[in-house]
């Protein structure tokens, strides 16, 4: 069933459609809380009544039928929800991830685990790095940490507000923590890391309500290419 106006306000409906939420099934998959946060992230001026309306649509009732307890529960979910953002277009993200992949290839050529990262600010790459842990005898020299250091120097600020970081592999707990502390806007990664991934595979530091929440995360961009590079590296190493 297509979302329509009424009951949704015309401007809100247009914004939802731009976000790819056009049907009740789309809204159910996204959830009322995330849809509401996406509207805010897209720059829409929305009030709590919009949240009530979205939830009411999912329940098949009128917004006025929501109880105070239901509204309080929704507000609590808003507070606990991990950061949400409207991410760049798939083609733009793929382009930046290709650059990160080229960095990862440099790691592999020197015997390092092939992981690359780039930092993007205002649509421009300001830092690019790859793993050099073995070369530098320094466990902290993961691609992400090195890219953050470069970006900090480029912007003359250790806080990287408004920056996006593209990484070929899901960040570990060390790197996820550094990304959070740097307050980057968005983290986009390629392949999942089932053994040490701290963006959803083993744990998700980005959604931990006890930590500062500034960073939205999206995985799976050029996942096959990123995964194939890693697999080829380890197959060669074992062979």
Pairwise CA distance, residues 174 & 84, whole Å: 22
Please give the structure tokens belonging to residue 110.
């020197």
Among residues 53, 79, 50, the alpha carbon closest in space to that of 66 is found at 53
Say whether 142 counts as a known binding-site residue.
Answer: yes
Say whether 175 counts as a known binding-site residue.
Answer: yes
144 is catalytic: yes
Pairwise CA distance, residues 158 & 90, whole Å: 28
DSSP letter for 168, please: E
The length of the chain, given as a count of residues? 239
Pairwise CA distance, residues 148 & 165, whole Å: 9
Pairwise CA distance, residues 175 & 20, whole Å: 31
Q: Tell me the residue ranges of DSSP E strands in the chain.
A: 116-121, 124-130, 163-169, 186-191, 216-219
Pairwise CA distance, residues 121 & 135, whole Å: 28
Give the CA-trace dihedral at 31, 35, 37, 39, to 10 degrees.
-170
Q: Which helix (H) or strand (E) holds 18?
A: helix 10-18
Query: Do you find a cis peptide bond into 176, omega within 30 degrees of 0?
Result: no
Q: Which of 29, 68, 112, 144 is catalytic?
A: 144
Say whether 214 counts as a known binding-site residue.
Answer: no
Q: Which residue has the tokens 């099934």?
A: 25
Binding-site entries for Zn(2+): 142, 172, 175
Residues serving a catalytic function are 144
């Amino acid at each position: 069933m297509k979302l329509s106006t009424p009951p949704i306000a015309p401007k809100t409906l247009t914004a939802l459609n731009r976000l790819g939420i056009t049907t009740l099934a789309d809204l159910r998959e996204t959830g009322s809380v995330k849809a509401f946060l996406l509207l805010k992230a897209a720059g829409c001026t929305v009030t709590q009544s919009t949240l009530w309306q979205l939830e009411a649509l999912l329940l098949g009732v009128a917004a006025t039928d929501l109880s105070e307890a239901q509204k309080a529960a929704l507000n609590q979910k808003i507070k606990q929800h991990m950061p949400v953002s409207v991410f760049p277009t798939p083609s733009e993200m793929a382009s930046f991830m290709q650059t990160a992949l080229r960095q990862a290839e440099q790691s592999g050529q020197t015997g390092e685990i092939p992981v690359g990262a780039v930092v993007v600010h205002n649509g421009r790459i300001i830092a690019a790095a790859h793993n050099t842990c073995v070369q530098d005898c320094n466990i902290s020299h993961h691609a992400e940490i090195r890219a953050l250091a470069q970006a900090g120097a480029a912007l003359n600020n250790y806080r990287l507000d408004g920056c996006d970081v593209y990484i070929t592999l899901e960040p570990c707990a060390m790197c996820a923590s550094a990304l959070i502390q740097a307050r980057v806007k968005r983290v986009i990664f390629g392949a999942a890391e089932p053994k040490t991934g701290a963006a959803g595979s083993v744990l998700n530091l980005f959604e931990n309500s006890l930590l500062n929440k500034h960073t939205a995360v999206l995985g799976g961009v050029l996942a096959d290419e990123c995964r194939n590079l890693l697999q080829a590296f380890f197959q060669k190493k074992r062979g």
